[in-house]
Amino acid sequence: MVLSELAVRLNCAEYKNWVKAGHCLLLLRGCLQGFVGREVLAFHSRLLAAAPGLGPRAACSGGWRCSPRARQFQPQCQVCAEWKREILKHHTNRNGDVHWGNCRPALWPVDAWEVAKAFMPRGQADKTGPEECDAVALLNLINSCDHFVVDRRKVTEVIKCRNDIMHSSEMKVSSVWLRDFQMKIQNFLNEFKNIPEIVAVYSQIEQLLTSDWAVYIPEEDQRDGCDTGVYLSESQVNEIEMELLKEKLQELYLQVKEQEVLPEEILNQLEVVKEFLRNNEGLRNGLTEDMQKLDSLRQQHLKPDSKEPGVQTPEGKA
Ligand SMILES: [Zn+2]
């Protein structure tokens, strides 16, 4: 039964494109994690070498008063104030949004990843390393931190594509769009010619996007499409779909929380996802919790008597 649901879904070329594009993002994330992790450690060491006073022996003395919230951070101690200055010095977006709320400043002297999170988009507070991050978080870090020497236009092009994928309310992209995405993602990968694990993904993505992407169905013992295809099992495709939908719901969740989008628009987007899940029981079962979390936050925000919408949930609680 689940199998036929998947077959029906993939029969829609534009949905299949959407899942393929999402698969590329997962491959991209996979090849960036190790690299980014190593570079963040190197960046942290470099900062400490230049400013030894910020190292492990420095301690925040501000306690809870040195807690950032969303884009706001007013350090209440010398150490945090100096760290903030140092971070901004390397921030390519220092006059724009810096999501200080991602960070626990008291850990800056000892935890490189807490520093990295100041260069990332919102929603990273509970992440402790690159292996917990999605592609867009890693791309934003590469884009915003001047430690990464890269053509930033190529990074932002991929970030834009990722947003197209996640914000597509119908969960569909055209084949023309997909070809454009392939070009942009490969332009980006070409920036890392000396990183073997990133180079390896270049051809994987090429194969994936140019193949018919046949799904291997063992029960029927047949592979549709020709021999040059990339074959995935039904459960592999399901896993990709699930990851994508989870990211999409998380994105909606953050949009509701930060009240970035009109309630009606959220409602419309949610209706499309619900309708989609109504017809796809296999996916629906795996997303019940995410849907409930989103629904209850939305209800909470709709209440007219909530005194200060958007901040009544404690920071870091998700
Ligand atoms: Zn402090």
Question: Binning pLDDT at 50, 70 and 90, where does residue 120 land?
Answer: very high
Nearest Cα to Cα of residue 215 among 199, 201, 232: 232
- Rounded to the nearest angstrom, the distance between the alpha carbon of 80 and the centre of ligand 1 is 4
- Rounded to the nearest angstrom, the distance between the alpha carbon of 58 and the centre of ligand 1 is 10
Give the SS3 label for residue 91.
Answer: strand
pLDDT in tens, 72-99: 999 999 999 999 999 999 999 888 889 9
- Rounded to the nearest angstrom, the distance between the alpha carbon of 106 and the centre of ligand 1 is 6
d(CA 318, CA 313) in angstroms, rounded, equals 8
- Rounded to the nearest angstrom, the distance between the alpha carbon of 140 and the centre of ligand 1 is 26
- Rounded to the nearest angstrom, the distance between the alpha carbon of 61 and the centre of ligand 1 is 5
- Residue 317's pLDDT is 41
Tell the residue number behind the tokens 């270049």, with chain if given.
202
- Rounded to the nearest angstrom, the distance between the alpha carbon of 81 and the centre of ligand 1 is 7
- Rounded to the nearest angstrom, the distance between the alpha carbon of 43 and the centre of ligand 1 is 21
Contacts 24+ apart (CB under 8 A), 142-145: 142/32, 142/36, 143/92, 144/91, 144/92, 144/93, 144/119, 144/120, 145/43, 145/90, 145/91, 145/92, 145/116, 145/119
pTM of the model: 0.89
Question: Binning pLDDT at 50, 70 and 90, where does residue 303 land?
Answer: confident
Looking at per-residue pLDDT, the higher value among 139 and 213 belongs to 139
- Rounded to the nearest angstrom, the distance between the alpha carbon of 85 and the centre of ligand 1 is 13
- Rounded to the nearest angstrom, the distance between the alpha carbon of 155 and the centre of ligand 1 is 33
- Rounded to the nearest angstrom, the distance between the alpha carbon of 89 and the centre of ligand 1 is 18
